[in-house]
A and B are shown apart, each in its own frame.
Chain A
Amino acid sequence: MANDGIDLDVPAGQIHALLGENGAGKTTLMNVLYGLTQPDEGEILIDGRPMRLRSPRDAIDAGIGMVHQHFMLVPVFTVAENVVLGREPTRPLGLLDRRKARREVLELSNRYGLSVDPDAYVEHLPVGVQQRVEIVKALMGHANVLILDEPTAVLTPGETEELFRIMRDLKASGRSILFISHKLKEVQAIADSVTVLRRGRVVGSPPPTATDAELASMMVGRDVELVVHKDVAKPGAVVLAVDHLAVLDETGRRAVDDVTFEVHAGEILGIAGVQGNGQTELCKALLGLLPVEGGTVTLEGRDITGDSTRDVLDSNVGYVPEDRQEDGLVEAFSVSENLVLDVYDQSPFSSGLVLHPDRIDESARRSMAGFDIRASSIDVPVKTLSGGNQQKVILARELGRETHLLVANQPTRGLDVGSIEFVHRRIVASRDRGAAVVIVSTELDEIYALSDRIAVMYEGRIVGIVPPTISAGELGLLMAGAGSAPADERAEVQPA
């Protein structure tokens, strides 16, 4: 049961936020509204008239538009072609009326300030623009109700601001927007009214002016610590030293350029930056997943430049990759198999060639309890777990062994408040046990919550290493490549 007796009212010309953790039933509810799933009970009224939505077609005809979490665009088509997909304006002989399609896209784009080029190929557009294409697509269907499913999950802070402006314009034109999110700040910033879902039920309709803590506890069902409690770092010896590192990405572009930094034991270095400024390549190079073009990586005094991933992991390095599903887990494998993905060939899980499934299962049960992994059993495929629980599987695996260095790339992306709190606490706990931690995040909140020092990456370079006391404005400027860290504010580590 994903939705149980939900009542929801969206008045015209309002932005209504649907707030809930992953798996609370937000997406199911939206699929019901968009005709993708049929309700077993209850009804949908539009302008007071009951509607039966058997398919997205019905929903579109009823004036409902949807922007999915994952975009439904054809990458090799132009914007105009994508927008008219499914309702192509035709000329006699069934020819596609490209000019009309272009004109319509331009008109909508101009009216709502979407600045979308109808002739651009979708595959060449940044994610934020692709999302605007989706919005144009929904508006072309004369949508009066626009459903945005976690629209900010893929956007940079700047793009999010831009989206909010567009949402306000749409609201001003009398359209209703259903905004699905689990990010409290965004809901507070944009929503006129809020409905909170938990385990498929409506648990409340707080005013958008409610505090973070109120909204979060309503969502999670208990009080949540939004700010991770952490003591002042007691940095020890240098664990990781990166010296003039240069890395080429898969396309041969210099993604990491002359990067130098050190991370000490018992310290968290947060690497801030807009997505795609070399953070991912940096992490991969540290782990031996990308070849090093120049410079050195030293781990606990030993040169590990160019070592294999196996060797790096065996030197007590834990790695939380950016893309859980693609790099961190084998989705078809069971929870217990995923928990030994990089230690399956070590004692006690195997001796020589022989695998010991009983010991793997036993350890999996311990990890499940220790890391609060919610799954019906250790044998279910990991893809049936929610994102938060999948991430707990990875953390349990990487922190389950002795970890001297933890490299975590976007460790809480797409997770709900409760899971973020859990992941953050675990990361801080591993720091307090003496591990050196490198966190890459595009979320400023996360950077501030965790970092003992902040390194800012821009176009493959580290443009500054600053203390976490730096203002968000200054940090934002650094991330945008403007300004530089004032010399007297540079964070220096005081060895304990």
Chain B
Amino acid sequence: MTGDVAVATGDEVRPPQGSEPPAGQAGGGPGERGFTQVLIDAVTRGNSVVVTIAAFVLAIVVGGLIIAFTNTTVLHAWGNLFSAPGKAFAAAWDTASGAYTAMFEGAIVNPHAVSAAFHGGPISAVFNPLSETAVTATPIILSGLGVALAFRAGLFNIGAASQFIGGAMIAGWIGFAVHLPIVLHVVVAVIGGFVGGAAVGGFAGFLKARTGAHEVITTIMLNYVMEYLLIYLLGLTVFRRPGNPNPISPTIAKNAQLPHLFGANLRVNAGFLIALAAAAAVWLMLYRTTTGFQLRTVGSNPRAARSAGMRPERSWIIVMLVAGGLAGLAGASVVQGTNFDLAPLIWGTYNVYAITVALLGRASPVGTVLAGLLFGALRAGGVTMQASTQIPVDIVTVIQALIVLFVAAPPLMRAIFRFRAPRSGGEQLEARGWGG
């Protein structure tokens, strides 16, 4: 047997260079990059916008199927599939579409309210769904920005809850214990919220910079510390509402409450503007300041950052201060905008939301705002859906989970939607090699 080979190839599809950076390519560096780094790479330049939107559509479809097939009426109709097939499909469609219609009416606009407004009904009812969406989205966006910013510097901040509590505690305390004139009081409380969150986040950053303690561990642990600190404080007279046996703080002063934007009938308040301004500020910081340049360099390649004379430790502390401050603002927005007091469990599920919208928004300020609005709309709509169709609001959580699942599984999305693979196999193989 001989080994003669003759090749004649024609045009090859991919140019060797100068093309768009490949999506879904996690750096491709040697194995010393940790899991966090790979995750962060995947988050910050993982999916295209198209994939994210497709994931949303797919989640809505699958969510609709789940709504339909967890409904007893629908299941009964399917029990009689062969005698009345039309009825079975109609029942499924009606249930799912009814649920989504209610959700839309609760999150965006309710046509009944619009027509009522033409016949003398309250105008505020027309905008109430959007107002609810904005109110729900505000803390989600703010805490999401905190996580997204940390991602940019290569840190996985799982401490949005602790930073949220830190902010809520200070903002709340300033709100009910301090007496200041109008405007000044609300501003001081908001700043207090930022400082409270920054202290907690900055502590995690300091620990990492000084001792190398991994931020994933410290931020998770700080979540517990802050949750129990809040419960402890609510047991002290300073924080306790007089005459109330429950661990709940006094209501904050009127002066410290975030003003409504469109009158008292709509809950949307200045917190929403703070969230949008914070997103703009994060963008400016990342792309228009030397500090942001450092953060991004440290986040993309800490070794190159060191060779260029930067100190990653410094960046870690700065980014965790600001990220914590943003989550602290989320806490302030809840205490000063909707709840008006401190209570245990005030952090709710914002920790999970923060990570989720940061992932979904690909750690960009704009993406995080959009993802936060989407989640705000789903939450606000879910409440209406449960009220008007008796479908549990938990289905919203399922839909959110599905979005994340699909976004996190690009190969699955490619298989379903027939997107093109990001890179030809050969180069991908090479990129996975090591030791070279």
Whether the Cβ atoms of B3 and A10 lie closer than 8 Å is: yes
A176 in complex: contacting residue of B4, B16, B304, B436, CB < 8 Å: B4
B146 CB–A CB distance under 8 Å: no
Q: Residue-by-residue, is A327-346 near B (CB-CB < 8 Å gives 1, otherwise 0)?
A: 11111110001000110110
B16 in complex: contacting residue of A25, A33, A344, CB < 8 Å: A25
Q: How far is the CB of A141 from chain B (nearest CB, A)?
A: 13
Q: Residue-by-residue, is A22-63 near B (CB-CB < 8 Å gives 1, otherwise 0)?
A: 010101110111101101111111111000000000000001
Q: Residue-by-residue, is A299-324 near B (CB-CB < 8 Å gives 1, otherwise 0)?
A: 00000000011111110000101000
- A sample of 26 cross-chain residue pairs with beta-carbon separation below 8 angstroms, ordered by A number, consists of A1-B12, A7-B7, A8-B5, A36-B426, A37-B12, A40-B9, A41-B10, A42-B7, A44-B6, A47-B4, A68-B430, A70-B435, A144-B3, A200-B12, A308-B309, A311-B309, A326-B304, A330-B305, A331-B300, A332-B301, A341-B308, A342-B309, A350-B290, A355-B288, A384-B19, A386-B16
Given contacts A2-B15, A37-B424, contact A10 B5 (CB under 8 A): yes
Whether the Cβ atoms of B3 and A176 lie closer than 8 Å is: yes
Query: With a CB–CB cut-off of 8 A, which chain B residues contact A380?
Result: 18
Whether the Cβ atoms of B7 and A326 lie closer than 8 Å is: no
Task: Determine the residue in chain B with the shortest Cβ distance to A313.
Answer: B309
Given contacts A63-B3, A341-B308, contact A355 B430 (CB under 8 A): no
Query: With a CB–CB cut-off of 8 A, which chain A residues contact B4?
Result: 9-12, 45-48, 176
B85 CB–A CB distance under 8 Å: no
B310 CB–A CB distance under 8 Å: yes
- Alpha-carbon gap, A42 to B11, bound state (A): 9
B240 CB–A CB distance under 8 Å: no
Q: How far is the CB of A405 from chain B (nearest CB, A)?
A: 15
Q: How far is the CB of A481 from chain B (nearest CB, A)?
A: 25
Whether the Cβ atoms of A375 and B426 lie closer than 8 Å is: no
B306 CB–A CB distance under 8 Å: yes
Given contacts A145-B5, A289-B307, A354-B289, contact A40 B30 (CB under 8 A): no
Number of A-B contacts (CB under 8 A): 234
B50 CB–A CB distance under 8 Å: no
Query: With a CB–CB cut-off of 8 A, which chain B residues contact A332?
Result: 21, 44-45, 300-301
Whether the Cβ atoms of B11 and A9 lie closer than 8 Å is: no
- Alpha-carbon gap, A42 to B13, bound state (A): 13
- Alpha-carbon gap, A329 to B328, bound state (A): 35
Query: With a CB–CB cut-off of 8 A, which chain B residues contact A313?
Result: 308-309
A154 CB–B CB distance under 8 Å: yes
Query: With a CB–CB cut-off of 8 A, which chain B residues contact A344?
Result: 290, 293-294
Query: With a CB–CB cut-off of 8 A, which chain B residues contact A27?
Result: 426, 430
Whether the Cβ atoms of A28 and B6 lie closer than 8 Å is: no
**Which residues of A are at the interface with B, using a C-beta cutoff of 8 A?**
1-13, 23, 25, 27-29, 31-34, 36-37, 39-48, 63-64, 68-73, 75, 127, 130, 144-145, 153-154, 174-176, 178, 200, 287, 289, 308-314, 319, 321, 325-333, 337, 341-342, 344-345, 350, 353-355, 357, 375-376, 380-381, 383-386
- Report, nearest first, the 7 A-B pairs whose CB atoms are least far apart: A41-B10, A70-B433, A36-B426, A70-B436, A144-B3, A310-B309, A31-B426
B303 CB–A CB distance under 8 Å: yes
- Alpha-carbon gap, A309 to B309, bound state (A): 5
Q: Residue-by-residue, is B204-247 near A (CB-CB < 8 Å gives 1, otherwise 0)?
A: 00000000000000000000000000000000000000000000
Q: Residue-by-residue, is B127-148 near A (CB-CB < 8 Å gives 1, otherwise 0)?
A: 0000000000000000000000
Whether the Cβ atoms of B17 and A384 lie closer than 8 Å is: yes
- Alpha-carbon gap, A345 to B45, bound state (A): 26
- Alpha-carbon gap, A127 to B2, bound state (A): 31
Whether the Cβ atoms of B306 and A309 lie closer than 8 Å is: yes
B1 in complex: contacting residue of A9, A47, A289, A331, CB < 8 Å: A47
A41 in complex: contacting residue of B9, B429, B436, CB < 8 Å: B9
Whether the Cβ atoms of B7 and A40 lie closer than 8 Å is: no
B264 CB–A CB distance under 8 Å: no
- Alpha-carbon gap, A381 to B13, bound state (A): 21
Given contacts A40-B12, A75-B435, A310-B310, contact A384 B5 (CB under 8 A): no
- Alpha-carbon gap, A4 to B13, bound state (A): 10
Whether the Cβ atoms of A386 and B17 lie closer than 8 Å is: yes
B415 CB–A CB distance under 8 Å: no
B434 CB–A CB distance under 8 Å: yes
Query: With a CB–CB cut-off of 8 A, which chain A residues contact B429?
Result: 36, 68, 72
Given contacts A36-B429, A310-B309, contact A42 B9 (CB under 8 A): yes
Taking CB atoms and an 8 Å cut-off, the chain B residues in 280-303 that contact chain A are 287-294, 296-297, 300-301, 303
- Alpha-carbon gap, A354 to B13, bound state (A): 43
- Alpha-carbon gap, A34 to B30, bound state (A): 24
Given contacts A6-B9, A69-B433, A310-B309, 19 further A-B contacts (CB under 8 A): A4-B11, A5-B9, A6-B7, A6-B8, A32-B7, A36-B424, A36-B426, A37-B12, A40-B10, A69-B436, A71-B436, A130-B435, A144-B1, A289-B306, A313-B308, A326-B304, A333-B300, A355-B290, A384-B21
Whether the Cβ atoms of B8 and A42 lie closer than 8 Å is: yes
Given contacts A309-B306, A329-B304, contact A33 B7 (CB under 8 A): yes
Given contacts A1-B15, A70-B433, A327-B303, contact A174 B2 (CB under 8 A): yes
Query: With a CB–CB cut-off of 8 A, which chain B residues contact A43?
Result: 7-8
Q: How far is the CB of B336 from chain A (nearest CB, A)?
A: 29
Whether the Cβ atoms of A12 and B10 lie closer than 8 Å is: no
A357 in complex: contacting residue of B9, B17, B18, B288, CB < 8 Å: B288
- Alpha-carbon gap, A455 to B12, bound state (A): 47
- Alpha-carbon gap, A124 to B103, bound state (A): 60
Task: Determine the residue in chain A with the shortest Cβ distance to B297.
Answer: A330
Whether the Cβ atoms of B425 and A36 lie closer than 8 Å is: yes
B122 CB–A CB distance under 8 Å: no
A72 in complex: contacting residue of B297, B311, B433, CB < 8 Å: B433
Whether the Cβ atoms of B11 and A40 lie closer than 8 Å is: yes
A327 in complex: contacting residue of B2, B6, B307, B424, CB < 8 Å: B307
Given contacts A43-B8, A289-B306, contact A385 B17 (CB under 8 A): yes
Task: Determine the residue in chain B with the shortest Cβ distance to A320.
Answer: B307
Query: With a CB–CB cut-off of 8 A, which chain A residues contact B112?
Result: none
B29 CB–A CB distance under 8 Å: yes
Task: Determine the residue in chain A with the shortest Cβ distance to B292.
Answer: A355
- Alpha-carbon gap, A385 to B425, bound state (A): 20
- Alpha-carbon gap, A327 to B425, bound state (A): 27
- Alpha-carbon gap, A383 to B423, bound state (A): 14
Given contacts A12-B2, A70-B434, A381-B21, contact A327 B304 (CB under 8 A): yes
- Alpha-carbon gap, A33 to B44, bound state (A): 35
